[in-house]
Amino acid sequence: GAVVSQHPSRVICKSGTSVKIECRSLDFQATTMFWYRQFPKQSLMLMATSNEGSKATYEQGVEKDKFLINHASLTLSTLTVTSAHPEDSSFYICSARDRDRYNSPLHFGNGTRLTVT
């Protein structure tokens, strides 16, 4: 089945530093990937849509300069949390859909738990 690999699974960083999270589709190509954020006991909130070869589309209220997204190939998207602060601590999950199977579900990575101290 379709596999989405997300790395790292867990990261602890100091306030003010930047953290990069990678999301790879292992056995399919994804024109579009999605980045979600989830706080404890809450739902998934869509942050942005990552588009291969073009700019990401950010949801309202998400700072594009703080959450940098790059989608350089059909199998890789990265999210960089710049100048992280404790309030950025959260569970970040990427997802992707096989570009050749539009009716298929979104496949999710295993998530990255970010803790900013």
Partner 1 sequence: ELKVEQNPLFLSMQEGKNYTIYCNYSTTSDRLYWYRQDPGKSLESLFVLLSNGAVKQEGRLMASLDTKARLSTLHITAAVHDLSATYFCAGRPLFHYNQGGKLIFGQGTELSVKP
Tell me which stretch binds partner 1 (CB under 8 A): 15-23, 31-39, 62-70, 81-89: 31-39
Binding test (CB under 8 A) with partner 1, winner from 5, 11, 31, 89:
31
Q: How many chain residues touch partner 1 (CB under 8 A)?
A: 28
- As a whole number of angstroms, the distance between CA 32 and CA 95 comes to 9
Binding test (CB under 8 A) with partner 1, winner from 24, 28, 34, 37:
34
Tell me which stretch binds partner 1 (CB under 8 A): 11-19, 21-29, 46-54, 79-87: 46-54
Binding test (CB under 8 A) with partner 1, winner from 11, 13, 20, 46:
46
Q: Tell the burial category of 86 from Cβ atoms under 10 Å away from its Cβ (0-12, 13-18, 19+).
A: exposed
Shortest distance in whole angstroms from residue 2 CB to partner 1: 9
Residue written as token pair 């594009």 = 64
Shortest distance in whole angstroms from residue 28 CB to partner 1: 13
Four-CA torsion 29, 76, 109, 55, nearest 10 degrees: -100
Grouping H, G, I as helix, E, B as strand and the rest as coil, residue 88 is: helix
Give the strand pairing for 112-116 and 90-96.
antiparallel
